[in-house]
């Protein structure tokens, strides 16, 4: 940027904001809440301070609505925030993504580590979770006898299905050693096997209050239980390791009671409806059967009438057989006549064939004779022509055939040299001669 360029205040704040957001990553900050204000819009505004400094903070409604506690002045918290600058006033502030009470970071980390390890072992897999019985004969409850959750569960069970017996396996659900005692109660219920389903429950509280249900010993005991386990711990927003391991997670203890037993009134209404459906179905079936009986009654025929009908049918079939036989015989007779006529038409006439053969033989002999005569005349002509071309005939007229020493025919005196030996052939016999003189071509 040019140092001589004059910025507006808005441009300056925007540049500072970009520099802060790009230079400082999302990070956790710890401090004490002061000047807390909850706006009508649902957004929270406060300052986070320590002994030496403070910073303004804002947490918007779409983030704050998921917190399970309400911040207050003086509370020590840890916030996950993005450092930014509010351009309108030039205030440096933190925009919060998450918030938790200070000191719970280690608990959350322990929670996540155990959750990840048990999940890798398959304790959360859906295929290992068992279905709850439709009508349990007896329900077991693992909780503290003084817990308000127990009263809610008993009241809900009594309202929905008062005839189902309940067995309480008392155990403390909070405090030192409570996790081992909860696991011991679950183990005892599984070994005694006197209940069809087991509810593990307690009311809401902070993460420290519910921590016993995040212990590994409780999770593994629930996973090893021979009885289906429903976990109803805390409020709807509370999640524990026991929730993930249990066969069913209920949002509240009351919801756990509603899950294990059906509503008696709903069952009665369903039974009344089913009885009505059954009565109507039986009546419809009865009516259909009566109509079927009437239909079959109309189709029922007296044996004498059935025999008479069969006899008439048999007579008709015999008549059809006779007609079919007669028709078949007439058809075969007509076919035989046609074939006989065709056979007669195809019979050869021997005398006519003999006459044709004799005529063709005579014609063949005549043609052969004419052919032989033509070939004889042609042969005589070729013989005469051959005699005319015969060299012997030429030699007989006084000519001779001259060859040099190599046997080549001499056609010109230019081919000869004085003293050269020649071989002369006459019409009868031959002679050898020596060239003494050669002459050029003689003119007329």
407: its two tokens? 């046997």
Q: How far apart are the first and last CA of the chain?
A: 128
- Of the listed ranges 107-121, 230-244, 388-402, the least confidently predicted one is 388-402
- Of the listed ranges 169-178, 204-213, 278-287, the least confidently predicted one is 204-213
Q: Is the pLDDT of residue 17 over 80?
A: yes
Report helix, strand or coil for 125: coil
State how far the Cα of 431 lies from the Cα of 421, in Å rounded to an integer. Answer: 11
Per-residue pLDDT tens for 184-236?
999 999 999 999 999 999 988 777 788 899 999 999 999 999 999 999 998 87
Per-residue pLDDT tens for 368-425?
999 999 998 899 888 888 877 777 777 767 778 888 878 888 777 777 888 888 888 8
Q: What is the pLDDT of residue 408?
A: 82
Report helix, strand or coil for 386: helix
389: its two tokens? 């071309």
Distances (CA, A) of 433 to 271, 369, 421, 423: 153, 56, 6, 7
Per the prediction, the chain carries an average pLDDT of 86
Q: Is the pLDDT of residue 135 over 70?
A: yes
Q: Is the pLDDT of residue 56 over 80?
A: yes
Q: What is the pLDDT of residue 443?
A: 53
Residues 6+ away with beta carbon under 8 Å from 49: 31, 32, 34, 55
Please name the residue ranges forming H helices in 253-349: 253-260, 264-299, 303-346
State how far the Cα of 291 lies from the Cα of 258, in Å rounded to an integer. Answer: 48
Q: What is the pLDDT of residue 156?
A: 92
Residue 70 and residue 37 in contact, taking contact as beta carbons nearer than 8 Å: no
Q: 360 versus 110: which is more confidently predicted? A: 360
Residues 6+ away with beta carbon under 8 Å from 277: none
State how far the Cα of 197 lies from the Cα of 39, in Å rounded to an integer. Answer: 47
Beta strands 166-170 and 248-249: pairing type?
A: unpaired
Report helix, strand or coil for 16: helix
- Residue ranges with strand state E in 328-420: 401-403
Q: Is the pLDDT of residue 444 over 60?
A: no
DSSP 8-state class, residue 211: G
- Of the listed ranges 23-27, 148-152, 205-209, the least confidently predicted one is 205-209
415: its two tokens? 């081919």
Residue 410 and residue 416 in contact, taking contact as beta carbons nearer than 8 Å: yes
Residue 205 and residue 234 in contact, taking contact as beta carbons nearer than 8 Å: yes
Q: Is the pLDDT of residue 65 over 50?
A: yes
Residues 6+ away with beta carbon under 8 Å from 141: 150, 153, 154, 166, 167, 168, 169, 198, 199, 201
- C-beta contacts of 320-324 below 8 A and 24+ residues apart: none
State how far the Cα of 237 lies from the Cα of 70, in Å rounded to an integer. Answer: 14
Percent of the chain with pLDDT over 70: 95
Per-residue pLDDT tens for 316-375?
898 899 898 889 898 888 888 888 888 777 766 677 778 888 888 899 999 999 999 999
Residue 177 and residue 215 in contact, taking contact as beta carbons nearer than 8 Å: no
Q: Which domains, and CATH codes, for the chain?
A: 9-103 (2.40.50.140), 132-262 (3.40.50.9100), 395-434 (no CATH)
- Of the listed ranges 8-12, 193-197, 260-264, 391-395, the least confidently predicted one is 391-395
State how far the Cα of 220 lies from the Cα of 246, in Å rounded to an integer. Answer: 10
Question: Order of strands, edge to edge, in the sheet holding 166-170?
Answer: 166-170, 139-143, 197-202, 229-233, 248-249
Q: 182 versus 429: which is more confidently predicted? A: 182
DSSP 8-state class, residue 127: G
Neighbours of 420 (CB within 10 A): 14
Residues 6+ away with beta carbon under 8 Å from 43: 58, 59, 60, 61, 64
State how far the Cα of 386 lies from the Cα of 380, in Å rounded to an integer. Answer: 10
**pTM here?**
0.47
Q: How confident is the model at residue 441 (pLDDT cuts 50, 70, 90)?
A: low
């Amino acid at each position: 940027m040019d140092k001589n360029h004059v910025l507006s205040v808005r441009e300056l704040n925007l540049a500072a904001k970009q520099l802060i957001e790009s230079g400082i990553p999302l990070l956790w900050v710890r401090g004490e809440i002061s000047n807390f204000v909850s706006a009508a819009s649902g957004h929270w505004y406060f300052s986070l301070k320590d002994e030496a400094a403070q910073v303004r903070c804002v947490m918007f409604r779409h983030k704050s609505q998921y917190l399970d506690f309400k911040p207050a002045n003086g509370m020590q918290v840890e916030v996950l925030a993005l450092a930014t600058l509010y351009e309108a006033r030039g205030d440096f502030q933190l925009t919060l993504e998450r918030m938790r009470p200070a000191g719970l970071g280690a608990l959350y980390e322990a929670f996540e580590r155990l959750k990840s390890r048990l999940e890798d072992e398959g304790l959360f897999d859906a295929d290992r979770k068992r279905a709850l019985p439709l009508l349990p004969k007896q329900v077991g409850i693992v909780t503290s006898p003084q817990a308000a959750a127990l009263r809610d569960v008993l009241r809900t069970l009594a309202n929905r299905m008062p005839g189902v017996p309940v067995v309480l396996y008392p155990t403390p659900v909070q405090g030192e050693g409570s996790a081992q005692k909860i696991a011991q109660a679950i183990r005892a219920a599984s070994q005694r096997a006197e209940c069809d389903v087991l509810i593990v429950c307690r009311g809401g509280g902070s993460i420290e209050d519910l921590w016993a249900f995040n212990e590994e010993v409780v999770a593994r005991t629930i996973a090893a239980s021979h009885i289906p386990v429903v976990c109803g711990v805390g409020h709807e927003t509370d999640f524990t390791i026991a929730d993930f391991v249990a066969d069913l997670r209920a949002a509240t203890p009351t919801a756990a009671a509603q899950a294990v037993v059906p509503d008696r009134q709903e069952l009665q209404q369903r039974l009344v409806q089913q009885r009505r459906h059954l009565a109507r179905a039986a009546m419809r079936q009865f009516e259909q059967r009566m109509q079927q009986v009437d239909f079959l009654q109309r189709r029922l025929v007296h044996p004498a009438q059935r025999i008479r009908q069969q006899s008439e049918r048999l007579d008709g079939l015999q008549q059809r057989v006779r007609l079919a036989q007669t028709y078949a015989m007439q058809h075969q007779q007509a076919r035989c006549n046609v074939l006989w006529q065709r056979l007669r038409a195809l019979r050869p006439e021997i005398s006519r064939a003999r006459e044709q053969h004799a005529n063709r033989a005579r014609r063949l002999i005549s043609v052969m004779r004419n052919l032989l005569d033509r070939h004889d005349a042609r042969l005589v002509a070729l013989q005469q022509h051959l005699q005319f071309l015969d060299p012997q005939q030429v030699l007989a007229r006084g000519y001779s055939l001259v060859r040099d020493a190599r046997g080549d025919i001499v056609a010109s005196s230019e081919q000869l040299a004085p003293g050269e030996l020649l071989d002369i052939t006459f019409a009868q016999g031959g002679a050898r001669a020596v060239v003494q003189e050669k002459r050029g071509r003689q003119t007329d």
